């Protein structure tokens, strides 16, 4: 596995977007940095997030990351949270960290509550989580975030009684720039709203085959669907590809 295949970078005058890593079933982490302020936010926090931040950014991320927006609770999107929390604690972060999650995302809620309990006496910063749903908003001074509910089933092979995960896509405004991120989703009405007219659309493109009308509880977008959606945005990048093993 050549790890460069799973990284990419985009920028304009206002924002730098780094896909630190994204491969389906392994890890996805995207770093947005406001060029005027140096402030950062993460879209998803897959395994290796800490290593990738240390390699690709200044140590200022310890204090400058806020918020973290999590698309859903699957391990390849949240696996790096524990390491990141631990590193921020070790380095003495004091400003609160806000984590945006889909309403009912029990994986992330459990990780946060467990961590807060474990280190209740020695955690120098607060970890807050915010449960978002369709058209929820969350603004910091630097990032304005809107969330969209998307349709992501738990498992591809669980066709008959598929269980929908709490799952979100996001549109993030940094200055005048809009970045849309689909998260993991099948084709559903929200994805067009997420990517339309965005300066950059970050779109999952997991499935190789083209969709068919009776494809049932499909878990992911196909490459064709993702490229079609990408044309609604000014520019796009496809992520979350299946690695050749």
Q: Is 47 near Zn ion (CB under 5 A)?
A: no
Q: Given candidates 47, 76, 149, 151, which one binds Zn ion under the rule CB under 5 A?
A: 76
Burial class of residue 130 in the structure, from the number of CB atoms within 10 Å of its CB (0-12 exposed, 13-18 middle, 19+ buried)? middle
User: At closest approach, how far in Å is the CB of 12 from Zn ion?
Assistant: 27
In this complex, which beta carbon is closest to Zn ion, that of residue 64 or of residue 76? 76
**Which DSSP category does 155 fall into?**
-
Q: Where are the alpha helices (DSSP H) in the chain?
A: 49-56, 61-64, 75-78, 81-90, 106-118, 189-195, 223-230
User: At closest approach, how far in Å is the CB of 183 from Zn ion?
Assistant: 8
| Residues between 4 and 23 that touch Zn ion (CB under 5 A) | none
Q: Given candidates 47, 52, 184, 199, which one binds Zn ion under the rule CB under 5 A?
A: 184
Distance (Å, whole) CA 130 – CA 98: 7
Count of residues near Zn ion by CB under 5 A? 2
* Closest to 24 in 3D by CA, of 37, 5, 40: 5
Which span (121-129, 160-168, 179-187, 223-231) binds Zn ion, by CB under 5 A? 179-187
User: At closest approach, how far in Å is the CB of 40 from Zn ion?
Assistant: 22
User: At closest approach, how far in Å is the CB of 112 from Zn ion?
Assistant: 20
Between strands 97-102 and 127-132, the pairing is parallel
User: At closest approach, how far in Å is the CB of 204 from Zn ion?
Assistant: 7
Which span (85-93, 94-102, 177-185, 230-238) binds Zn ion, by CB under 5 A? 177-185
Q: Is 44 near Zn ion (CB under 5 A)?
A: no
Cβ proximity of 129 and 97 under 8 Å:
no
Angle at 221 between CA 215 and CA 226, to 5 degrees: 130
- The site for Zn ion (CB under 5 A) is made up of 76, 184
């Amino acid at each position: 596995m050549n790890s460069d295949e799973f990284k990419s970078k985009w920028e304009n005058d206002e924002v730098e977007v780094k896909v630190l890593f994204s491969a389906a079933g392994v890890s996805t982490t995207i770093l947005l940095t406001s060029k005027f302020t140096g402030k950062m936010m993460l879209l998803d926090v897959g395994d290796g997030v800490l290593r990738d931040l240390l390699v690709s950014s200044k140590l200022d991320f310890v204090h400058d990351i806020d918020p973290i927006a999590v698309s859903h609770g699957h391990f390849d999107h949240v696996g790096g949270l524990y390491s990141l929390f631990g590193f921020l604690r070790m380095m003495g972060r004091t400003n609160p960290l806000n984590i945006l999650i889909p309403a009912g995302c029990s994986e992330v809620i459990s990780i946060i509550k467990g961590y807060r309990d474990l280190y209740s006496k020695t955690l120098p910063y607060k970890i807050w989580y915010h449960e978002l749903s369709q058209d929820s908003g969350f603004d910091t001074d630097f990032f304005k975030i809107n969330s969209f509910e998307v349709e992501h089933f738990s498992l591809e092979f669980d066709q008959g009684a598929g269980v929908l995960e709490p799952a979100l896509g996001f549109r993030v405004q940094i200055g005048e720039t809009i970045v849309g991120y689909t998260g993991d989703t099948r084709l559903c009405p929200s994805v067009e709203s997420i990517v339309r007219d965005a300066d950059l659309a970050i779109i999952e493109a997991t499935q190789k085959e083209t969709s068919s009308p009776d494809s049932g509880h499909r878990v992911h977008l196909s490459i064709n669907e993702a490229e079609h959606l990408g044309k609604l945005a000014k520019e796009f990048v496809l992520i979350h590809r299946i690695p050749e093993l």
